[in-house]
Structure 1
Amino acid sequence: MTFAHDAVVLAAGGSRRLGQAKQLLTRDGETLVHRCARLAVETTARRRLVIVGGYAEEVIAAVRDLPVEILRNDDWEAGIAGSLRLAAAALADAPRPCLLLTCDQPALDATHLRALRDGFIDRGCAATRHGDAGGVPAWVPADLLAQAMSLQGDRGLRGLLAARGPRHIALLDAPELTHDIDTPDDLPLARQRGWIDERDVPAG
């Protein structure tokens, strides 16, 4: 079953703790931001936004071949809330359910997105379990995305998702998605499991 929706790839971070652009790490020769944006496109989303900030020109170049819209978050250093507000504002004129993704979860694949879609169809909202809370990737209704306009600083969607209540949100159990890339210490396990290339090579 398919339904009209949009997709947003949050790719504006500066990767300070990692020391290099996590968006440009590669899996099978494909940058993580390209992989994430490609998976978003493959869901047949009506609009496909990629929010850029840190390393903006390099990230834009990495997704240039994909049918996506680029939005620049000039205030990206203030935290993820700015990117969410930017996405919510851009999509406000034609509210639809929205798939929200980040490009620092190298294990992400299409099966996760299909499971989240199914959870959304069942409950009206779906997110990935991170401990006791829900987080990205997430498939959220338009009204929840609109509430992101109130977020500030480094506050993401977890509070808004938690407010839905367990009966109104499907949580996807995918422990591999809790392994994100924040510091150099996160890279060895990701490489061991084939989620990150041993050597980063530019994607064509």
Structure 2
Amino acid sequence: MTERPASVLLADPHDEFAAALETTLADATGEFELRHVRDLRTARDAFDPARHDCVLVERDLGSGIGLDLLAAVRRIDPGVPVFVVTADGDEAFAASAVDAGATGYVRKGDPDALADLRDRIRRARTVRAGGDDADHAATIERLRASAERLDTILEHTTNLVFMKDTDDRYLLVNDAFASLVGVPREEIIGATTAEVHGGEFAGRFRANDEAAIAAGEP
């Protein structure tokens, strides 16, 4: 009996990556089928453990974040392969996702990532059937090492370093930034600009952030 196509669910608000992935998967004629959704709520409703062989999830999903979808999928089906899709420089997020149960991660900016992803989906499907988690353990170790290097850089630079998501919440800050604002790092992570700096400055900072996003700056 012919094996059915591997069913892939992609949760990503950006059409560019979805289109590129669809083209790559289509090169393997009849081997994959892709469903693309753009937000957390739709992705939760769409996921079917009896159908989907793999889930790909972006960090920001409009109505929530990728880790929310990862947790929801894991509650329903602990064994389905879930890959997080990240932009360059998101190693800390990728490491957190893998520690939270993601199978691995894919960099959008890597020109070889899509072809490699196709093979990884094949392997993940086989691993799920066979119960071999060696690839998962290797991914965790690689990401932890990358995250440790990032932490070392953040600890030793005197420049202000921070990263926020599209909901204006801080994802990462270094000690220099925390010292400047006078708030411990652990209290800044997850907080908004208004919560950290006060409402008087929030509008100005948000305007600067929106200008940077519009200009395509990191």
Length-normalised TM-score, structure 1: 0.31
Q: Which has the higher helix share?
A: 2
Please identify the structure whose Cα radius of gyration is greater: 2
Which of structures 1 and 2 has the larger relative contact order (alpha carbons within 8 angstroms, sep 6+)? 1
Compare the two structures and name the one with the higher strand fraction.
Answer: 1
